[in-house]
Amino acid sequence: MKRPVSRVLRVLLACSLAGAFPAVGAPGEKSAAAGADPVAKIESAGGAVRRIAKGSDALEVDFQFGGAAVTDDHLGVLPALGPVQVLRLKNTRITDAGLAHVGSLKGLKRLHLDGTAITDAGLKHLAGLKELESLNLFGTGITDAGVDALRALPKLRQVFIWQTDISPAAVARLRKDAPGLEVIPDPEAERERAESIGSVSKSALASAEAALAQAKKDVNELAPQAAQLKQSFEAAKALADKAKAKAADARKQADEDARRIEPAVKDAEAAARRAAAATGDAALAAQAQEKARLVAELRERAEKSRQAGDVAKAEDDQARKAFDEARSRSDKAGRAKRVLEQAEVAVASARERVDAATSDAVPLSRAAAEPRSVQKAISNQ
């Protein structure tokens, strides 16, 4: 039951939205006015129109998979569409002329012009986009001259300039003039990044090498004694086992002796009471005395066996410690080769990282980023 109900709700929602923003066009409206419908025009070039979110009238127009089919002509319908907040024109065939239409989308927040043929002249059309937050110029021919146009955009927070002709000096100036603006990639940040990776990699290599030296030492010094260490470890184990048994016996004896005190005390107290009741009965008095002596004797014995137990426990602890040490040395000797192998892998990996620390310091400008075939052609001359 749930599914049909939710579908009905969705259709109702869609209808109510369409009523509120008739310019956008609702499902099914296409056939009625195919030529004039901006959504149909956009879709005919492989584009798509979506709402940014449910309950919002803001639109996203996505041409990024339309490619060469998308031209300046398709941008003409945008102003009639409604409040466009996001416009994706990546890798389309639009030009500077088309940006005149884009410049009239006053609510535009995010604009993708990456991989298009736009130039510095085209960027001037964007001066009125006071809401623009993000601008993608990746892989375009924008130069330092185009950077000036960016200063006119008060809310711009993010600009993508990889593989353009913008110089590091222009980026530095822009960063100074617009401190809230993130320039991606930022040559300065890239340099810091490479430095940090380099220094972390170097210090990791140093500690890996230190660990390797220790591992080598263990292999040289401990490993040859492995058999001997194993023997002494086994001997220590036998001693420890013996000490443990002895400590357990002593403990048991001490407990047993301690347990015997209480009944003897009671017995002695009863005898004392009887002797006190029958004053003058010498036999009873002698009996009470004897029982009191027995209690004293038991107490003494219990104290002795408790002391013996403590001694045995101390011996056991010592034997256990000796055993643990022997075991750890023996283990270390046994594992030394494996640890060394691992330390060698760790050093190799750390060295690889030091060598590759700058392997991802990629060229930032378009000229330096020419593809392989072109580079080859040049280097062969």
Partner 1 sequence: MNDHPDLRLSRREFMRLSAAGVLTGASVPWFESLASAAVKRPRGKSCILLWMDGGPSQQHTFDPKPGGEFKSVPTAVPGIHIVEQLPKLARCMKDMSIIRSMSTEINDHYDAKYYLHTGYKRAPAFEHPAVGCIASSQISIPEGDLPGFVTIDAGNDKGNGGRFYRSVPAYLGPQHAPLAVQSPDRGLENLRNDSADLDARLALLARGEARFAEERPLPAVAAKQAAYERAVRLMRSSRARAFDLDEEPDWLRDAYGRHRFGQSCLLARRMIEAGVSFVEVFHRGWDDHEGAARRIHARAPWMDAGMSMLIRDLKMRGMLDDTLVVWMGEFGRSPGDGGGHFCKAWSTVWAGGGINTGIVVGKTTESGKNAGAAVEERPVSAPDYIATLCTVLGVDPRQEVMAPGNRPMPLADKKATIIKELIA
Query: How far apart are the C-alpha atoms of 64 and 83, rounded to whole Å?
Result: 19
Locate 301 and state its tokens: 């014995």
Contact positions with partner 1 (CB under 8 A) in 97-116: 109-110, 112, 114
Site string for partner 1, 16-55 (x = CB under 8 A): -x------xx-xxxx------x-xx--x--xxxxxxxxxx
Q: How far is the CB of 85 from partner 1 (least distance, A)?
A: 6
Q: How far is the CB of 224 from partner 1 (least distance, A)?
A: 24
Number of residues that bind partner 1 (CB under 8 A): 77
Nearer to partner 1, 82 or 122 (CB): 82
Nearer to partner 1, 159 or 239 (CB): 159
DSSP state of 278: S
179: contact with partner 1 by CB under 8 A: no
Q: How far is the CB of 234 from partner 1 (least distance, A)?
A: 26
Site string for partner 1, 146-165 (x = CB under 8 A): -----------xx-x-x---
Q: How far is the CB of 93 from partner 1 (least distance, A)?
A: 14
Q: How far is the CB of 294 from partner 1 (least distance, A)?
A: 50
Locate 162 and state its tokens: 């990889």
Query: How far apart are the C-alpha atoms of 85 and 105, rounded to whole Å?
Result: 8
Query: How far apart are the C-alpha atoms of 307 and 303, rounded to whole Å?
Result: 6
Q: Which of 183, 162, 165 is nearest to 174 (CA)?
A: 183
- Segment lying near partner 1 (by CB under 8 A), choices 140-148, 225-233, 283-291, 337-345: 337-345
Nearer to partner 1, 9 or 80 (CB): 9
Q: How far is the CB of 208 from partner 1 (least distance, A)?
A: 9
Contact 167, 309 (CB under 8 A): no
Task: Cite the DSSP H helix spans in 151-281.
Answer: 168-177, 187-221, 226-277
**CA Rg value for the chain:** 44
| CB burial of residue 259 (10 Å; 0-12, 13-18, 19+) | exposed
Which DSSP string do the residues of 181-201 spell out, in sequence order? PEEES-HHHHHHHHHHHHHHH
Nearer to partner 1, 92 or 136 (CB): 136
Q: CA 146, 148, 149: angle at the middle one, nearest 5?
A: 75
- Segment lying near partner 1 (by CB under 8 A), choices 2-10, 240-248, 252-260, 292-300: 2-10
Q: How far is the CB of 346 from partner 1 (least distance, A)?
A: 5
Contact positions with partner 1 (CB under 8 A) in 193-222: 193, 196-197, 200-201, 204, 207
